[in-house]
Structure 1
Amino acid sequence: MSLRDTGRRLRLRRTGRVPADARVRHYDELNDDEQGIVRELAGEPWTAPETGDLDDGDVVKFTDYYLVRSR
């Protein structure tokens, strides 16, 4: 999937707790664009354009668990 032009921005926040209703995505399941965004945003206070398949409230398992926030 590619980046979608919604005007929304993603931010990743390290989390020690995974909500029971969260969709958990593993880094190696993501496409190349999404992997690049996760690498760029993990642990950094930056944002990136919303991607095609990462949604607000999802959790990505990368080097830690990261909660996806989209605004």
Structure 2
Amino acid sequence: MRLRRTGRVPTDARVRHYDELDEDTQVAVLELAGRPRTAPETGDLDDGDVVKFTDYYEVRAR
């Protein structure tokens, strides 16, 4: 998966807050936020979900 900073949240997107995520997913978000990197998908996030962290990040499946 990748995270892409987004300025708008689609109305049909599931928004997840960082502190609601399990520990492994939090580590992945921390590593991916703002960096052009990929990580293995987690069971906690799906393609198109939005994570509220330091900004809003859209989850993209590889």
Q: Does 2:17 match 1:29?
A: no
1:65 is matched by which residue type in structure 2? Y
1:52 aligns with 2:43: yes
Q: Which runs of 4+ in 1 moved over 3 A?
A: none
- Which whole-Å deviations, capped at 9, do the CAs of 1:4-34 have from their partners, x for residues lacking one? xxxxxx0000000000000000000000000
Length, aligned pairs only: 62
Q: Among all aligned residue pairs of Structure 1 and Structure 2, give the percentage whose two residues are the same amino acid.
A: 81
| Contact 2:4-2:34 within 8 A present in 1 as well | yes
TM-score, normalized by length of structure 1?
0.86
CA distance, structure 1, for counterparts of residue 60 and residue 2 of structure 2: 5
Question: Whole-Å Cα distance in 2 between the matches of residues 28 and 61 of structure 1?
Answer: 9
Structure of higher CA gyration radius: 1
> Normalization by structure 2: what TM-score?
0.98
CA-based RMSD of the aligned residues comes to 0.4
